[in-house]
A and B are shown apart, each in its own frame.
Chain A
Amino acid sequence: MSALLEATDLAYHSGGRALVDGIDLSFAGGSFTVIVGPNGAGKSTLLRLLCGELAPARGNVRWNGEKLHAIPAWRLAHRRAAMPQASDLNFPFTVFEVASLGTQGIGRGLSGSDRQRLAFEALEQADVAHLAPRNYQTLSGGERQRVHFARVLAQLAAGRTLEAQQALFLDEPIASLDLKHQLALLESAKNLARRGLAVIAVLHDLQLAAGVADDLVLLHQARLVTRGSPDTVLTPATLAEVFGVALHGNALPTSPWMRVQA
C-alpha cells in the first residue's frame, strides 16, 4: 500500500518552543491511525500540520506526492475533512444547517436536494437526526460533537463525487461523548477506514485507542517515539517512560473489549 499522506522532517514552533520537531511519518488509505501521547506532546499540532491548517516551519507534507500547501483550499476540502476539538457558534444555526455546511460548495454535479440528503444521512449516521431542527446553541457538549461529526461525514460524502482518495482527521472526537456514542463514533470512523479512507485521530483513552487503531503513533515532547501496531507501541516500558504510569498485568486488550449493541 502506497502512502497517501507523507510528512518529511516536519517541524513547527510557537513562542520559541518546538511543538513538533523532526517528524517523519506516512499514512496509507484504508488504515486507522491514532496519535497518542501525554499532554503537550504535540498531538494536535501534528494533526493540524497534516491536514494543512498550519504551515510547517520546516519539512513538508505531501498528498500523493503533491505538496499540501500548493493545493487550493477548495480542492483540499474535497480530499479531507477535519473535526475540531471544540467549536463554539455565536449564531442560532440549526443542527441541520451546521451539518449542511459540510456540503455547501463541495462536490460535483450535486443538486440542492442531493446535498440536503447527504447532510441528513450524515446526521442519521451520527445519531443526531432527531435534533435536526434544533438550535445548535442549545445542545449539550456531546451532542455538539456528534453534530460536527455529522458535518465532516457530510463533507466526505459530498467530496467523494470529485475525489476518490480521502482522509479524515479527528482531534479528540470523543472527549465529551458518553460511552455508547464514543464507541459508535469510533466504529463509524473504523468503517470509513475499511472503505479506503486514511483516518487519523488524536485520542486520550489508550484502551480505546488500542482497541480501534490499526496503527499507533506515540509522541513525546514534540518528537516521534515509536509507531506501529498497538501491542508493539503500548509496552510497559514505553508507558512508564512516556506517560509515567506503571502497567499492572502485562498486556492491553488488542481488540475492542466493548462493543456497541447492534
Chain B
Amino acid sequence: MTTIALRQGRVRTGFRESRALLLTALAVLVLLVSLAALGLGATGVPLSRTLSIVADAIMGRTAAMSGDGLIILQVRLPRLLLGLLIGAALASSGALMQGLFRNPLADPGLIGVSAGAALAAATTIVLGDALLARLIGPLPFTALPIGAFTGGLLTTLALYVVATRSGRTSIATMLLAGVAFGALSGAVMGLFSYVSDDRQLRDLSFWSLGSLSGATWAKTMTVVPFILPTLLAMPFLARGLNALALGEAEAFHLGVPVQRVKALAILLVAVAVGASVAAAGMIGFVGIVVPHMLRLMAGADHRMLLPASALLGAALLVAADTVARTVAAPAELPIGILTAAIGAPFFLWLLLRRPGGMAL
C-alpha cells in the first residue's frame, strides 16, 4: 500500500508542480517580451527609462510627457496590447479547434472564419470604392475591419448550419464544407487580385500577410471587448474538450453536453479569430505551432493547454512583431511573413524529431 501511496503522490504532485511552474514561466516570458517590445524600435529607449515612463503613466503622471514617453505610451503600448490579445486569441483558438476536431494539425481557420473574413476584406478593398462608395460616399477606414469581422462570423454560421442535422453538428461535415468554402474563397480572391488596380493589389497583399502596424488606442480598445471575454471563457471548455478527445460518444458517456461544447467552441473561435483577422489581417501558424509545442512540453490536458497557449501565443506574436518592425527599420515587414518563415521550419523540425514521425 505504501508503494501505491508513494507512486500516487508522485504522479499527483508532479502534475501540479509542473503545471504551476510552466504557467509562471510563460507569464514571466510575456512580461520580458513586453518590456523588450516597448523599449526596442526605430527609437531605442533604455530599460530603466521605459520602466519609469510606464510607472509614471500608471501613477497618472502624464503631464510632462517627453518624446520617448509619447512613443511608448501612444505608439508602442497600444500595439503591444493588440499583439498580446491577438497572439493569445490565435493560439488558444488553435488549441480549441484542435480539441474540437480531435486533430493536432487543425487550424483556427478550419471553421471558415479566416476565409470568410478574407473574402469580405478583399471584397471591401476591391469593390468597396466602385460599388459601396457610390451609394454612401467615401468609405470610412473602419469599413474593412467591420466587413472582415462580419464576413468571418457569417461564414462560420453558414458552415455550422450546413453541418448541423437534427440538432447534432457533424464536425467532419463542417471540416469538408470549410475546405470547399476555402477553395471558393481562394478563387474569388484570385479573381479580385486579377481585376484590381495597383493600389488595391497592395492593400490586398498587405492585408493577407497580416500586420499590427496602425495599432492605435482606439483600435486596440475596439478589439478588447471581442477577444478578452472569449479568452476568459475558453478555459471553461477544458473538461469537455478533454473528454471529447476520446470521441463524441465517450464524451457523452462522461456526462459532457457535447452539442453545447461544440457550438460554444465554434462561437468563441469565430469571434476571437474574426476580431483578430479584422484588426491585423491573416497571421498564420501561431494557432498550430503554439499548442503543438506546449503539448510536447507539458502534455495534452486542456486545463493547462488553453491558458498556456494564450500566454505563449501572446509572447510569440509580440516577439515576432518586435522583430518585424526593427529588422528593417524604419520600414516594417508584414508579420505573417515572419510567423510563417519561423513557424513552418520549426514545425517541420518538431514533426521530424518525433520517433513515430507524424502520428495523426
CB distance from B232 to the nearest CB of A (A): 20
The answer on a CB contact under 8 Å between A92 and B249 is no
Closest to A91 in B: B300
Most buried by B among A90, A94, A97, A133: A90
Name the interface residues of B274-312: CB closer than 8 Å to any CB of A.
Answer: 295-296, 299-301
Does A243 sit within 8 A of B, measured CB to CB?
Answer: no
Report if A76-B11 is in contact (Cβ < 8 Å); known contacts: A101-B246, A105-B239, A137-B359.
no
User: A90, A97, A129: which contacts B7 (Cβ < 8 A)?
Assistant: A129
Instruction: Determine if B301 and A93 form an interchain contact, defined as CB atoms under 8 angstroms apart.
Output: yes
**With A104-B242, A117-B8 as given contacts, are A92 and B252 in contact (CB-CB < 8 Å)?**
no
B12 A116 Cβ-Cβ under 8 A:
yes
Is B57 part of the binding interface, using a Cβ–Cβ cutoff of 8 Å?
A: no
Question: Which residues of chain B have a CB within 8 Å of any CB of chain A?
Answer: 4, 7-8, 11-12, 14-15, 98-99, 102-104, 239, 242-243, 245-247, 249-250, 252-258, 295-296, 299-301, 359-360
B104 touches A90 (CB 8 A): yes
| Cross-chain contact of A74 among B245, B255, B295 (Cβ < 8 A) | B255
Given contacts A104-B242, A104-B243, A117-B8, contact A91 B104 (CB under 8 A): yes
> Which one of A14-22, A58-66, A81-89, A172-180 contacts B?
A81-89
Contact A73 B239 (CB under 8 A): no
A132 contacts B by Cβ under 8 Å? yes
In the assembled complex, which residues on chain B have CB atoms less than 8 Å from the CB atom of A53? 249, 252-253
A87–B247 CB distance below 8 A: yes
A73, B246: Cβ atoms closer than 8 Å: no
Residues in chain A near residue B250, CB distance under 8 A: 82, 84, 87
What class of interface size applies to chain A in its complex with B? 35 or more
Q: Which residues of A contact B246 (CB under 8 A)?
A: 84, 87, 89, 98, 101
Contact residue among A48, A78, A87, A97 (Cβ-Cβ distance under 8 Å from B301): A97
A87 to B254, CA, bound (A): 14
Q: With a 10 A CB-CB cut-off, give which of A53, A78, A101 has the most chain B CB atoms.
A: A101
Q: How many angstroms from the CA of A171 to the CA of B293 in the assembled complex?
A: 36
Q: How far is the CA of A81 from the CA of B246 in the complex (A)?
A: 14
Q: Is A113 an interface residue (CB 8 A)?
A: yes
* A/B interface sample: 7 pairs, CB < 8 A: A53-B252, A90-B104, A92-B295, A105-B239, A116-B11, A116-B12, A120-B4
- Render A144-171 as a binary contact track against B, CB cut-off 8 A, 1 for contact: 0000000000010000000000000000
User: Chain A residues with Cβ under 8 A from B243's Cβ?
Assistant: 101, 104
Indicate if the CB atoms of B247 and A84 lie closer than 8 Å.
yes
A78 to B295, CA, bound (A): 30
